[in-house]
């Protein structure tokens, strides 16, 4: 029946025979050979396996060579290098953070009753256990904390390390820091901030027995005083509002790479102690700044930020590459004891207190003036907006002829105003 229909349609027997798929022409035309026949012909690429042709097309190792996977090999090498940098850099940063904690643990435990974040007393911790002292925030940021000391509410310590785990990002930061002053060069640095009680023991730690009697003893006058590395001085002045209130002085008592930034000469004489001078000399170029301040770091936007003191003591220094902190420990120890010196010495004569008060009054007046100017500008813009809305509403209610006259009068008024301004300038 099929052949009858094919003849009726005009198809021949050859047309009705099935054709091999052109995609498999290689196999359709391949001779089906037995293994013996293949060996006899010397053809190792064609043999019969289970009655089916077996050709070179099936032999992947004969169709491809290692040269064909060169791009993939390069990608694998790059990934392996980045992964190796990640492992090495992250381990190196953790090692540096633990080395800092191990070197500073005795000093912290001797000054504070609780060191770390779990509230365990420092005396109950073994000397070689630093896991509770330092905490990892990220692969390049580590922090520590201590509390439980007279005149000091708590101290925050932050280690900011270079991004050794990311060679691409680290390289970009290094290039930017080398060629542009606005981008600081990547360094391993410590930022420590002490928050004194300043008479607020009852508010911060209300459970301390007899805290009411300590309120008056832990207070001291607010001021700004800093010892800054000269290479970092401009960046510090631009980055911190509190330091911008000071004047820069060179002191013969300090090394030539350091400068004093102070509000008054008497403050410098009081706090530039021989112990501090010896500590900063021993620290060398590692010290970036030591700041005693009562003003915010960012420029204040309200009067309360100036009126209410934010007393802090800030220390920053670069970490040594060899993890030897013997030269920096005296400075860090002096830094932790500074609140005691402030409570005892930072009570100035009325003349000095008046100078400090005038500086803060001037800043408050400038802020108040800027605020009034901003409010006046807002009122002016609001009046212009109301006036424009009224004008647009008036134009909509006019016909075309009245609108034309109205716009012509506006242009005449503007022209007369411009002429008057020109005559006044002349």
Task: Based on the fold, state whether residues 339 and 403 are members of the same structural domain.
Answer: no
Residue 38 domain-assigned (yes or no)? yes
Q: How many domains does the chain have?
A: 3
Place 423 in a pLDDT band, splitting at 50, 70 and 90: low
343 and 375 housed in the same domain: no
pTM of the model: 0.73
In a domain, 303, yes or no: yes
Instruction: Report if residue 15 sits inside a domain.
Output: no
Cα separation, 7 vs 184, in Å, equals: 90
Q: What is the mean pLDDT of residues 403-421?
A: 80
Query: pLDDT tens digits for 218-277?
Result: 899 999 999 999 999 988 998 899 999 999 999 999 999 999 999 999 999 999 999 999
Domain presence at residue 10: no
Decide which of 40 and 335 is more confident: 335
Task: Among 326, 355, 384, identify where a domain stops.
Answer: 355
- Boundaries of domain holding 220: 73-355
- Residue 160 placed within a domain: yes
pLDDT band for position 422 (cuts 50, 70, 90)? low
Question: Where is the domain boundary, 336, 355, 374?
Answer: 355
Q: Virtual CA dihedral for 226, 227, 231, 236, nearest 10 degrees? A: -20
Give the pLDDT confidence of 294-328 residue by residue, as tens digits. Answer: 999 988 888 877 778 889 999 999 999 999 999 99
- 165 and 181 together in one domain: yes
């Amino acid at each position: 029946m099929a052949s009858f229909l094919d003849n009726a349609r005009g198809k021949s027997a050859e047309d009705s025979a099935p054709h091999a798929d052109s995609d498999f022409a290689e196999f359709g035309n391949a001779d089906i050979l037995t293994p013996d026949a293949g060996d006899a012909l010397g053809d190792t690429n064609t043999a019969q396996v289970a009655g089916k042709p077996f050709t070179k097309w099936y032999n992947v190792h004969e169709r491809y060579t290692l040269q064909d996977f060169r791009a993939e090999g390069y990608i694998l090498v790059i990934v392996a290098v980045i992964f190796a940098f990640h492992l090495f850099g992250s381990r190196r940063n953790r090692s540096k953070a633990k080395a800092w904690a191990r070197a500073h643990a005795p000093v912290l435990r001797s000054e504070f009753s609780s060191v770390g974040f779990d509230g365990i007393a420092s005396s109950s911790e073994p000397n070689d256990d630093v896991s509770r002292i330092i905490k990892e925030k990220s692969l390049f940021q580590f922090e520590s904390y201590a509390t439980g000391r007279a005149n000091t509410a708590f101290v925050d310590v932050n280690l900011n390390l270079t991004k050794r785990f990311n060679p691409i990002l680290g390289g970009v930061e290094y290039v930017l820091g080398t060629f542009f002053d606005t981008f600081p060069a990547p360094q391993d640095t410590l930022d420590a901030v002490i928050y004194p009680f300043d008479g607020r023991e009852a508010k911060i730690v209300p459970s301390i027995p007899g805290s009411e009697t300590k309120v008056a003893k832990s207070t001291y006058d607010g001021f700004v005083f800093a010892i800054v590395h000269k290479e970092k001085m401009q960046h510090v002045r631009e980055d911190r509002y509190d330091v911008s209130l000071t004047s820069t002085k060179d002191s013969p008592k300090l090394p030539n790479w350091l400068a004093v930034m102070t509000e008054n000469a008497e403050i410098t004489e009081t706090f530039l102690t021989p112990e501090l001078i010896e500590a900063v000399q021993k620290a060398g170029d590692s010290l970036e700044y030591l700041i005693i301040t009562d003003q915010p770091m960012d420029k204040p936007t309200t009067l309360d930020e100036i009126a209410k003191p934010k007393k802090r003591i800030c220390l920053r220094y670069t970490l040594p590459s060899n993890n030897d902190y013997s030269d920096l420990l005296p400075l860090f120890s002096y830094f932790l004891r500074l609140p005691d010196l402030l409570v005892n010495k930072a009570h100035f004569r009325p003349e000095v207190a008046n100078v400090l008060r005038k500086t803060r009054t001037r800043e408050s007046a400038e802020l108040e003036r800027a605020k009034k100017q901003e409010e006046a500008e807002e009122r002016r813009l609001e009046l212009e907006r109301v006036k424009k809305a009224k004008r647009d509403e008036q134009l909509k209610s006019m016909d075309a002829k009245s609108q034309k006259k109205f716009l012509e009068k506006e242009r005449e008024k503007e022209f007369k105003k411009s002429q008057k301004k020109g005559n006044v300038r002349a």
